[in-house]
Amino acid sequence: MTKSKILFVFYLPSGGMETLNRQRCKALQNYDIECHLLYLQNGTGMQNISLIPTYVTNTDAEIKKILSKNFDAIFVSSDMYMLKRIRDLGYKGKLIYEIQGLGSVKTAEKILTQAVPFVVNYSNGILYPKTSHLMRLMDTLYPSTPKHCFHNCFDSKEFGYRSITRMSYPIIGWIGRLELNKNWDEYLMFAMRFIKQKPNTKFWMFIDDTLGNHHEKVRFNKLLNRYKLTNAVVVHANVPHKQMADYLSIIGDSGGFLLSTSKVEGFGYAVVEAMSCKCPVLTSDSDGVKAFITHNITGKFYKNENIGSAVLQGIELIDNLELRNNIIYHALNHLSFFDLETYANEFIKILK
C-alpha cells in the first residue's frame, strides 16, 4: 500500500476518544500511514499528545487550510454536522462517519436517527466498535451504507502494570466525568454502603473537572457531605494519561479494584486500562464492556442499579484471593484481542 495521509476529527481531546486517537495513530504509523488530529476546541487531553500533527480550531477558514493538505481519508467522530461542513469546504476524498460512546442507548438511537441524512448524503461509510446496541442500530438505520465494525485498539506495551507502592488499605477507583451516563452518584452510594463493611477503604475518583456542568458539581459536593464521605473520597483531577498506569497499579496492589458504574459504554477504555495494570474491575452491565469482561473470569459484573449486588461482588473481589488472582491473570491475557496490529490491519481494509 502506498503511503496514506488521514485526519481524525472530534470535538475535544478528552476521555476515551483522546486515548483511541493517540493509540491508533501509533498503530497506523507502523504501516506508513501519516495521521493528523483535528479538535474543534481545547481540552485537558492535549497534555497527552506528542509527535502527532494536531490542530485545534473551529473556524471555516482554518479548517479549509487544514483540508488543503490532501488527506486520503477523513474520519469524523460523532459530529454529524461536520460531515456536511467538510464537504462544503471543498473536500472530495473519502469521508467516514465514526461512532464511539454516544451515551445511553436512547441517546445513541436519537443521535444516529438524526444523523441519517448527513451520513447518507455526505459520507462514504461508517466505522463503529463491536458493541451490541450500536451494531443493532446500524443494521436498522443504515441498511445500505457501507459499514466497518471492529474493536478499538489498546497499547498494552505502553500502558501497563508498574510496581510503585503498597498501601495498607484497599482503594476502590472510579474514572469518568461528572455526568449522568457515567453514573457517579451510584459510586458514592456504593462507597457509603461499602465503608460500613470495610471501614478502612479509600475511594479515589479520577475526573476531568473541565467538563460536566456546574449543577452536577454542586450535587456531587452535597452528596459527599450527606453520605459522610469527605474523609474517604479523594478526587484526582485532570491526571495526565501516562500517570494513570501508576495510579491503577497502586489500586490493584492495594487489594482494591476499579468500579465502573456507567449506564452505557461504547467501548470503555478505563476498564481495559485497569485490566492491563493488574487492577481487577467490577462493572455495571454497560454493553461495550462485554467485549472484555466475562463475569468471574476477566472481571466482575454487578446487577445494574443494585448497590447491594455491587457491594457483595466487591467484597468477594477483595476477600477471595484465589478468584481475584485468576481474574487478574485472565484479564491480562485477554488484552491481546485489542492489539495495535490487529486494529491496523482492519483499518487498512477501509482505506483500500
User: What is the chain's Cα-based Rg?
Assistant: 21
How confident is the model at residue 1, as a pLDDT?
A: 53
Instruction: Residue 233: name the closest of 164, 287, 284, 178 by CA.
Output: 178
Q: Which domains does the chain have, with CATH numbers?
A: 4-149 (3.40.50.2000), 171-336 (3.40.50.2000)
Residue 222 vs residues 39, 182, 215, 216, 227: alpha-carbon distances, Å = 34, 18, 11, 10, 9
The helix/strand count (H/E) of the chain reads as 12, 13
pLDDT in tens, 165-184: 999 999 999 998 888 888 99
**Is 236 within 8 Å of 171 (Cβ atoms)?**
no
Which residue, 242, 263, 254, is CA-closest to 104? 263
Query: What's residue 44's pLDDT?
Result: 83
Q: What is the pLDDT of residue 314?
A: 97
Cell numbers for 159, please give them: 500502558
Q: Are the beta carbons of 16 and 44 closer than 8 angstroms?
A: no
280: CB partners within 8 A, 6+ apart? 252, 257, 258, 274, 299, 300, 317, 324, 327, 328, 331
Q: Which residues of the chain have pLDDT under 50?
A: none
The answer to whether 208 and 44 have CB atoms below 8 angstroms apart is yes
Give pLDDT, residue 266.
65
- Interatomic CA distance for residues 194 and 262, integer angstroms: 18
Whether residue 25 contacts residue 35, with contact meaning beta carbons closer than 8 Å, is answered with yes
Q: How far is CA 2 from CA 31, 33, 37, 344, 352, in A?
A: 10, 9, 21, 15, 10
Residue 113 in 3-state DSSP? helix
